[in-house]
Amino acid sequence: MRRGLVPALALAALLVLAGCSAAPGSPGATDVTPADTPTDEPTDTPDDPITVTETPDGAYNGFTFQAYEITPESIAREQAAGAGDLYDERARLYRSMFDDGSATRLLLTGADEPLAGAAFEQGASLRNDGIFYRAERTVLDRRTGEGYRFEFEGPLQEYHDYYGTAQEEAVPYAELSSTQQDLFDYIAPKAPDSENGSLTASVSYLPPAGSSLGEAWLDGEPQYVRKDGELFRLQYENERPDTARLRVRYTPERVADSASAFVDGRLDTLVTNVTDERPADPAREVIVSSLAEGSFEWEGTVQSRPERVEAADQWVREHSPEGSYAYVRYDRELYRIEVREVIE
């Protein structure tokens, strides 16, 4: 599914799109609503957006390698997501899992990779109130077939060209058929996400067995829906992709009562030892300098970037649990080493 949230700023019509065939809130979806609960660990700052400005000497390029000491317990908390680390659908699922002991969600995705859009991977690490868990994922039922590709947008704002048409033609949610409500409920943003702007999405929908959307919704004309005072637009894109419809249950299984207990036995898989031989040249100079001095910086142009910087950047990413950082052990101490690149 391609989706994105548009901040509802005055007179703003900015649209952020992400591409995926997964369920709302899945890893491939782009959700930008912050969770209510703050994280107890600093979160990574995403890399700066890259804009390239050519000069007579070439585009500016800068690298910063920064290293700081870290404890096994900090590694544990970074690797197990807590309430403040999750957003939108994943945050709602997390709350349901720990409030009710398990949570069941509908998942609509490509038939060839039916679990690619699942909110949590099997065995994903989670933490709640200082206790560490693994997410157990069970498919309760599955159906595959030719789906219907729908484009969705809403809540509509006054700047949308078809806002006036939607006001006149919108059908109240309560008057939709159960199958139409099923489609709407799956794709529409949930509160409080809907308060943050408009969602634009494209999703492959497969109705429950023995049900139909109705001919009116499959003629290619826009369909407008009114719910809770908000207006929404759906339109069949005349595509029939193979689609899987699954009900997936997520259950948190307790694995450790503390961060130290959780990380015990896991460090060897997360931490890379920096030794006399590792990493090899030319990356070694940059990595060791970062660890010994706390940081290493280089700036110049893209064309003049030295091999040692490229090699060090690649080395960190190859040894990273996720993103542009790695955990390393150097001189018997644990470090987190991060890489930031700027091109402008």
**Burial of residue 136, with CB atoms counted within 10 A of its CB: 0-12 exposed, 13-18 middle, 19 or more buried:** middle
Alpha helices in the chain (DSSP H): 72-79, 88-100, 163-169, 178-187, 259-263, 267-270, 283-293, 307-318
Task: Give the span between the Cα atoms of 116 and 128, in whole angstroms.
Answer: 25
Cβ atoms of residues 127 and 97 within 8 Å: no
> Is residue 272 domain-shared with residue 223, that is, in the same domain?
no
- What's the count of helices (H) and strands (E) in the chain, helices before strands? 8, 15
Residue 94 has pLDDT above 70, yes or no: yes
- Which segment of 42-56, 90-104, 257-271 scores lowest on mean pLDDT? 42-56
- Rounded percentage of the chain residues whose pLDDT exceeds 70: 82
User: Do 229 and 160 fall within a single domain?
Assistant: yes
Is pTM, for the whole model, over 0.85? no
User: Which pLDDT belongs to residue 168?
Assistant: 96
pLDDT tens digits for range 63-76: 999 999 999 999 99
Rounded-to-integer distance, Cα 179 and Cα 185, Å: 10
pLDDT digits (tens, 9 = 90+) for 174-216: 999 999 999 999 999 876 555 557 889 999 999 999 999 999 9
CB 326 within 8 A of CB 319: yes
Statement to judge: residues 225 and 273 lie in one domain? no
The verdict on 297 and 220 lying in the same domain is no
- Same-domain check for residues 210 and 272: no
Question: Is 254 part of a structural domain of the chain?
Answer: no
For 74, what's the count of Cα atoms within 13 Å in the CB-facing half-sphere? 12
Q: Are 125 and 80 in contact (CB under 8 A)?
A: yes
Q: End of a domain among 240, 269, 285? A: 240
Rounded to whole angstroms, the Cα distance separating 273 from 287 reads 12
- Domain housing 220: 148-240
DSSP track, 5-37:
EEE--TT---------SS-TTSTTS---PPPSS
